[in-house]
Amino acid sequence: MSGLFTIALDAMGGDHGPGVVVPAAVGALGKYPDIELVLVGDESMLSAEIARHPVQPSERLRIHHASQVVGMDEPPAQALRNKKDSSMRVAINLVKDGKAHACVSAGNTGALMATARYVLKTLPGIDRPAISTAIPSIHGHTHMLDLGANVDCTAEHLFQFAVMGSVLVSAVDNNPSPKVGLLNIGQEEIKGSDQIKEAARLLEASNLNYIGFVEGDDIFCGDVDVVVCDGFVGNVSLKTSEGVARMVSHFIRAEFKRNLFSRFAALFAMPVLGNFKKRIDPRLYNGASLLGLQGIVIKSHGGADAFSFENAIRIARLEVEKNIAQRIDKQLEQLLTEREAS
């Protein structure tokens, strides 16, 4: 690895494959002089796609051939068994073999998680990797995990997610003491399942900056940095927020098209609303971290465009720079040692 940060890209993954990954790679190379990218996938397709851009394959933009592609709906077990030369698997292998510092894939989440876990293994002390992403909030953003890798979680799993999220945020946001909240519901009598109550006890006893239970609306208020939950709840909450945002956009567009006055008003309002949209543009948040692995793996949205995918590359670069995997390892070891000592 000659550049500072080498990132392997699953160039065939996602809904659009090389048509999105290659222009994103070209864009990222322009922005980040300290990265080099390895496009993993069908050599001829990738060469053809590169030829459409004003770049040449080079040390900074290499092609690494892989003969197979994991389907977007392919069951993870099947991908793991039958797709040993898939662009996804080979990209992860490059991380395993020390030939890349991180990889990015827009391929199917289940297969990516299963393959990454199989190839890279989890960090010592981590039972299950989790998926984390930043979500816009009033004062910036909030990280949330798990977003769908683990349906049922024990208290210990939730505790591990909290550690991973806290380490991630402290590193990427330069936040020395991220506020960690456990996602719960408000009603006293049924407050939380047994797992959540036990996770709260573990977190209270740790040296994490645990602020207690938070509710669904707190994710967006900016008073918590890391929101911890099981993957079912996290996934529903994330998709709910996407659904609301889409509905709001739909209604705003519809209202401004309603009549002559509103169409006129739109001339003035649209530049302002454009600024607003930039604040919650999901493309700026594209790139979820698969945390808890012995290596950095970033999942891009399957339908990501080049601008979005470039953001996922940015996140991969940042996590390499900040040494996320090792930091989690170290922090967890320290917390578990403290817990045993107390």
In the range 259-318, which residues lie near a copy of itself by CB under 8 A? 261-262, 264-269, 271-273, 275-276, 279-280
Residue whose token pair is 């210990």: 156
Q: Residue 136 or residue 292: which is nearer to a copy of itself going by CB? A: 136
At 208, list the tokens: 């994490």
Which residue type occupies 178? P
Torsion of CA 192, 198, 204, 205, to 10 degrees: 180
Q: Which of residues 126-155 bind a copy of itself (CB under 8 A)?
A: 136-138, 148-152
Residue 103: name the closest of 281, 339, 293, 279 by CA.
293
Question: Shortest gap between Cβ of 288 and a copy of itself (angstroms)?
Answer: 12
| Interaction of residue 97 with a copy of itself, rule CB under 8 A | no
Range in contact with a copy of itself (rule: CB under 8 A) among 6-14, 57-65, 155-163, 245-253 = 245-253
| Interaction of residue 213 with a copy of itself, rule CB under 8 A | no
The mark string for 4-43 relative to a copy of itself (x by CB under 8 A, - otherwise) is ----------------------------------------
Q: How many helices (H) and strands (E) does the chain have?
A: 11, 11
Q: Residue 18 or residue 76: which is nearer to a copy of itself going by CB? A: 76
At 285, list the tokens: 């948040």
Q: Residue 18 or residue 136: which is nearer to a copy of itself going by CB? A: 136
Question: Shortest gap between Cβ of 300 and a copy of itself (angstroms)?
Answer: 15
Q: How far apart are CA 292 and CA 162, in angstroms?
A: 11
Q: Apex CA 187: angle with CA 183 and CA 193, to 5°?
A: 55
Q: Residue 174 or residue 261: which is nearer to a copy of itself going by CB? A: 261
Q: Apex CA 59: angle with CA 58 and CA 65, to 5°?
A: 80
| Interaction of residue 187 with a copy of itself, rule CB under 8 A | yes
Torsion of CA 332, 337, 340, 342, to 10 degrees: -110
Q: How far apart are CA 135 and CA 30, in angstroms?
A: 26
> From start to end of the chain, where are the E strands?
5-10, 35-41, 61-65, 102-105, 130-137, 140-145, 179-183, 209-214, 226-228, 288-291, 296-299
Among 31, 48, 244, 334, binds a copy of itself (CB under 8 A): 244
Contact 153, 195 (CB under 8 A): yes
Among 30, 140, 243, 303, binds a copy of itself (CB under 8 A): 243
Question: Shortest gap between Cβ of 155 and a copy of itself (angstroms)?
Answer: 15
Question: Shortest gap between Cβ of 165 and a copy of itself (angstroms)?
Answer: 17
Q: Which of residues 99-128 bind a copy of itself (CB under 8 A)?
A: 108-110, 114
Q: Which of residues 49-88 bind a copy of itself (CB under 8 A)?
A: 73, 75-77
Question: Shortest gap between Cβ of 18 and a copy of itself (angstroms)?
Answer: 24
Q: Residue 186 or residue 212: which is nearer to a copy of itself going by CB? A: 186
